[in-house]
């Protein structure tokens, strides 16, 4: 990576510069609306839906919400990670020169989306790419990484095993490490989607004022999935000072809501072991992303949802929006639909005017086979289990990381 001494400051202006740098290499992904999902978001949950949750017996929230979906599932390699990877590689080339970067090559560890993104960015500039992937990575993501011409090295699933494998590659090849999320160049690259989303929503409302709740002419809030925190941090940096609130969403399964729990405790949780279906979010925050995500001036709140919530939201997107997404992509939507703490917060802060909320669909890298298994009756949580709140039940910290 470009040296920390030469990285740009984490500001909205730097995100704009990153966007200028990577524009030739990324898709300007669309923003979609959906009347049905916005109506569902604005409809109180039934008492039956809240049975067995910490909100049972409480009056359901009645927020007014209009949803705008930033469809990064249509991004190159099918996920937002292309933004950070291209920015990191181009910054590396600026610092070291293309021939030196080609001579050394690049290396990373990733369960899939960053792997494919870095492989694509490296191939674009004829740079050798070495990708360390856990053996439990999704087969389609392994195949996608190999299809970009990368050298795939397999490792165990823990962070220690992956980092040891990366160290071996660096020792053998001299390749430069491009981290999956915990570096300013990655954070700034991922934040470019927020600049686009803000502009696109304003343009949509200018053309059709009926799309907005109340008199708002743009976004009131954005919610994004949180794994290692690169995308959430990037969005928060890009929107800092605009008045647009930024929120993070996580899976609660097996302690996957490490960012929420860490912020609540005032200390970063460094290790996570969860087999949530949201496989792109199985990673703890890094040192750099923690500083941003834990700062309420940047990220206003973190919320968690169950596996069943994720599946319910994914089914709605597939069937009502006709939009192909992976489980990680819908964690933000699941929060809006099913997490009463989030819904009550919107009702309280937005009042009768309501909020226009941008929802990041982070990627679409899954398969029909995986979806079929996911919705089989014996897979996942019981139907009665619903959202975890800001104070969730899955509170026990566990020992290792399984994906990046």
Q: Which of 70, 81, 141, 344 is catalytic?
A: 81
Q: Active site includes 111?
A: yes
Do residues 286 and 278 lie in contact, with contact meaning Cβ atoms separated by under 8 Å? no
Q: Which of 111, 155, 252, 328 is catalytic?
A: 111
CB neighbour class for 211 (10 Å; exposed up to 12, middle 13-18, buried from 19): middle
Non-local (6+) Cβ contacts of 20 within 8 A are: none
Told to judge if 81 belongs to the known catalytic residues of this protein, a careful annotator would answer: yes
Active site residues: 81, 111
């Amino acid at each position: 990576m470009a040296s920390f001494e030469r990285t740009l400051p984490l500001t909205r202006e730097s995100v704009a510069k990153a966007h200028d740098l990577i524009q030739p290499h990324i898709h300007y992904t669309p923003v979609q609306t959906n009347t049905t999902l916005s109506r569902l978001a604005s409809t109180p949950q039934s008492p039956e839906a809240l049975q067995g949750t910490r909100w049972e017996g409480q009056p359901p929230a009645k927020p007014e919400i209009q949803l705008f979906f930033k469809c990064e599932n249509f991004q190159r390699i099918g996920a937002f990670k292309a933004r950070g990877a291209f920015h990191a590689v181009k910054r590396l080339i600026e610092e070291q020169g293309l021939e030196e970067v080609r001579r050394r090559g690049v290396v990373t560890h990733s369960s899939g989306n960053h792997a494919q993104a870095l492989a694509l960015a490296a191939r674009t500039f004829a740079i050798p790419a070495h990708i360390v992937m856990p053996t439990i990575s999704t087969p389609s993501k392994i195949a996608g990484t190999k299809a970009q011409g990368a050298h795939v090295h397999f490792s165990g699933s823990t962070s220690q095993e992956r980092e040891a494998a990366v160290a071996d590659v660096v020792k053998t090849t001299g390749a430069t490490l491009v981290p999956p999320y915990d570096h300013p160049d990655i954070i700034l690259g991922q934040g470019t989607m927020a600049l686009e989303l803000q502009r696109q929503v304003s343009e949509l409302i200018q053309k059709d004022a009926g799309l907005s709740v109340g008199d708002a002419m743009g976004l009131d809030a954005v919610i994004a999935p949180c794994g290692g925190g690169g995308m959430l941090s990037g969005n928060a940096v890009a929107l800092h000072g605009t008045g647009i609130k930024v929120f993070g969403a996580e899976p609660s399964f097996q302690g996957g809501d490490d960012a929420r729990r860490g912020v609540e405790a005032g200390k970063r949780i460094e290790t996570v072991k969860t087999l949530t279906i949201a496989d792109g979010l199985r990673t703890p925050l890094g040192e750099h992303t923690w500083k941003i995500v834990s700062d309420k001036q940047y990220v206003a709140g973190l919320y968690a949802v169950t596996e069943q919530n994720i599946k319910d939201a994914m089914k709605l997107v597939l069937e009502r929006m006709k939009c192909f997404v992976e489980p990680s992509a819908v964690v933000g939507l699941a929060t809006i639909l099913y997490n009463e703490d989030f819904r009550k917060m919107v009702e309280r802060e937005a009042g009768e005017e309501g909020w226009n909320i941008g929802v990041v669909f982070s990627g679409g890298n899954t398969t029909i086979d995986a979806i079929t298994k996911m919705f089989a009756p014996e897979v996942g949580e019981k139907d009665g289990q619903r959202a975890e709140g800001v104070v969730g039940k899955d509170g026990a910290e566990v020992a290792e990381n399984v994906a990046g």
